[in-house]
A = this chain, B = another copy of it.
Amino acid sequence: MNKQTCDLLLTAERILTGTEQRIVGPIAIAISDGVIRKVDTLSDVEALYDAKKRIDLGNALLMPGLINAHTHVPMTFLRGFADDLPLMEWLTQHIFPIEAKLTDRIVSLGAKLGMYEMMRSGTTAFVDSYLLEENVLAAAQSMGMRCVGGEAVFAFDTPAYAGWDGVEQLYRNLAEKYPQGGLVQVALMPHSVYTTSDERLKQTMSLAEELDLMLHIHLSESAGEVAQSKELHQGRRPITYANDMGLLNERTILAHMVEMTDDEIELVSHSGAGIVHNPVSNLKLASGFARTKEMLEAGISVALGTDGACSNNTLDMFETMKLAAILAKGCSLDATAVPAATALRMATVESARIFRIPGLGVLAEGSPADIIALDLNEPNMCPIYNELSHAVYAASGKDCVMTMVKGKVLYDHGKYTDGSYTDVFAEMQDLVAWVRSAR
């Protein structure tokens, strides 16, 4: 049989494919044009492929890159600026006054720092919404991170747009610039049911349908939001109201959903909408406990996100994956709830849903080569009975030693391959004085 040539052969001792495929012994992945061509034992892959280049990761665990399904990555510029505060005091006295003075430069810098943090901690793709979001999309494109982003849509004007015409024009331009299936994509991102209007919500869904984009919105994050929704929307809880606005369907991914009645779980399940669970943020902001176990039992697609670095304060998806698994057990008093395999699926395949890219979230033939490697020489990864258990319960994002997106190495054993980390780091530190004075 004639051997084929691949761009890259990635080898390591162990693998979690995320599929039914179990491979024991030295592993290889053949990659060409950013796509996985073959995943198997080293000997089987070498029998089929000659490689232009090889990367041997040694005693490492290859696995799908984690996907952060809800964040506001520019907010890393405010990491640790204000903690331990009631939500409204935190927002109105600390966050909003600074966000009112946002510039393209700050958004871009924050996005870059956040992306370095994500690639450093094993995240290869993220879903983002913020102000002046075009800077995030551009930064993701230039840094090689997979991203679905959307300008936050409010009922009021922002530095990025004026009126619905402005929103619409902005989104049309972005959708043209970042088409479906690319490294960087666009989704409609109305902010919430308490910062928009009946009309604005209907407009966003209508535009999402016309442009065939997904739609992502914060929903039912806290008891406070439920109370506010009842007041603003003729007694309707956020989920009922969102349903009335035509938001609940397969095009929609709902962030948080901490407050859900049994009926609402059933409603969302039947609608086909997905949910993003953000356990660290929900605890830190004292929003409460999402009913993850019940959501999953109802057949809802539940993804995982970190939320912004202000309410977390990291973008470490390994931390989020572990907390999602153990918090569901604590809440349900059932140690079998959200087992490791489910938690990993939430952080990969379910989080990939909004990207609409076949094979994203697993390591299989035809999947994008979005791959990470965990160092197995660390004490917390020893001994090994079960790689899956270690990935979910023992690993931290800091155990990641290599991060690859679309076949390109972004992070490799302490080095960020794009070469600008030091500059971004220094510029970000310089922002501290400005932020302090801007409050």
Which residues of chain A have a CB within 8 Å of any CB of chain B? 76-77, 79-81, 83-87, 90, 113-114, 116-117, 120-121, 223, 280, 282-289, 309, 312-316, 319, 323, 325-327, 329-330, 332-337, 339-340, 377-380, 382-386, 389-390, 393-394, 396-399, 421, 425, 428-429, 431-432, 435-436
Contact = CB atoms under 8 A, between A and B. Distances in A.
Central interface residue in A79, A323, A384, by most chain B CB within 10 Å: A79
Q: Give the oligomeric copy count.
A: 2
Contacts of A337: 286
A86 B117 CA distance: 36
Nearest to A115: B379
Given A83-B393, A323-B323, A330-B289, A385 B336 contact: no
A83 B340 contact: yes
B435 A382 contact: no
A435 to B, nearest CB: 7
Given A326-B284, A335-B84, A389-B80, A429 B90 contact: no
Given A383-B79, A394-B313, A327 B283 contact: yes
B84 A429 contact: no
Given A323-B323, A336-B86, A329 B285 contact: yes
Contact of A389 (B83, B116, B431): B83
A386 B334 contact: no
Given A83-B389, A379-B113, A334 B396 contact: no
Contact of A383 (B282, B286, B323, B429): B429
Contact of A80 (B79, B393, B398): B393
Contacts of A223: 333
A240 B90 CA distance: 42
Contacts of A76: 379, 382
Contacts of A326: 280, 283-284
Given A121-B380, A284-B335, A385-B436, A80 B394 contact: yes
Contacts of A283: 326-327, 329-330
B398 A313 contact: no
A383 B314 contact: no
